[in-house]
Structure 1
Amino acid sequence: MPAAVQHRRTRLARTLAVAATGAAVLALPLIGSTSASAATTTSATTAAKTAAGYTNNLDGWIRESLAIMAEKDIPGTYNGIYRNVMRESSGNPNAINLWDSNAAAGIPSKGLLQVIDPTFAAYHVSGTAYDPYDPVANITAACHYAQHRYGSIDNVFGAY
C-alpha cells in the first residue's frame, strides 16, 4: 500500500477516534444528569434519618449534637462545629489520620473532628454511641473537650 494511502487511513482512524471520544465526553453529562436526577428525587423523598429523627448527613449530625450539647451545658454553635469539621475531615465521618505524631504513637485521630481514642474516652458524652466514628458521638465529645480546653469549639481555629 502506498505511503500516501496509509497516511490517509491513519489520519482517518485518528479523526474517528477523536470524534468518538468527543461524543462520549459530551454524552457523559447527559447520562450522569439523568442518573443523578433520579437519585436526587429518590433521596429527597426517602431521606435517611438518625434514631433521634435528624437527617443522616452532616447537617443533621451537627443539629443532633447541638441538641445533646444544650442538655449537657456544652457550649458551641453550628458555625463553629461546621468550620472545624470542614478543616479536620471535610465532613467524612470515617476519616482517619495515619501520618501525624498521634498516628506514629499508635493512636490516630478519627472521625469528623479527628479525636484520638483517649480524648474520646475522657470526653465521651452519655447518650451518644461509644464509637469515635459515630458522627454525633464524635462531634459531641470533641465539643466537650474543646469546652474544657478552649471554652468552646467556637474558639478553635486550628488543629487542637
Structure 2
Amino acid sequence: MDRGKELAEGSSPGADPATGAVTPSRYESQKRRDWNTFGQFLRNQRPPISLPQCNSNHVLDFLRYLDQFGKTKVHLQGCIFYGQPEPPAPCTCPLRQAWGSLDALIGRLRAAYEENGGSSEMNPFASGAIRIYLKEVKECQAKARGIPCKKKKKKLIDSDESNSSSMPSFS
C-alpha cells in the first residue's frame, strides 16, 4: 500500500532514508526465516546434521515436522466429511500444512541453499523425492476436499499441421 506513496515521493522501496540501509523485501525476510528454521531443525536432530550431510530425506522429515503447525484441515479417508469441499460440522481430522505453503517454502529454501554456498547439483530441495512428495500432498489434499485433480492434457498436433511450415505466409 505504501509502495505507491514511496514511488510517488521518489524514495526507493525498502530504503531507510536516515541510514541508507536497504530493508530486505518480504520474500527475502521470509526466505531468511525459513532458512534459519531449517538450520535449527537440522541442529536439533540426534545426532545433529550438518548442511553438507543434508539430503532429501532430511527435507522430507522437516516437511512432516511442519505439519504439526499447519492450519489446513485435511480429512482422512474414513471421515464422513472426506471429499466434501465445505463440511457442515467440525471433525477430528488433523490440521496440516497446505500444499501451496509447502510448495512456496521449498522454492524459498531451494534458493537459500544455493545462496548459502550449496551447489545446484546437490540441492536436496530440488530432488525428485521432494517433487513427488509435493505432488502427493497436493493430490491428497484435493481429494480430501472433494476437488478433482485435473491433469494437463498434451496438445495433439494434427498430421496435416505438423507437415506444414511453421513460417507465416505474407501473401
TM-score by length of 1: 0.28
Structure with greater contact order relative to length (CA < 8 Å, sep ≥ 6): 2
Larger C-alpha radius of gyration, 1 or 2? 1
Q: Which has the higher helix share?
A: 1
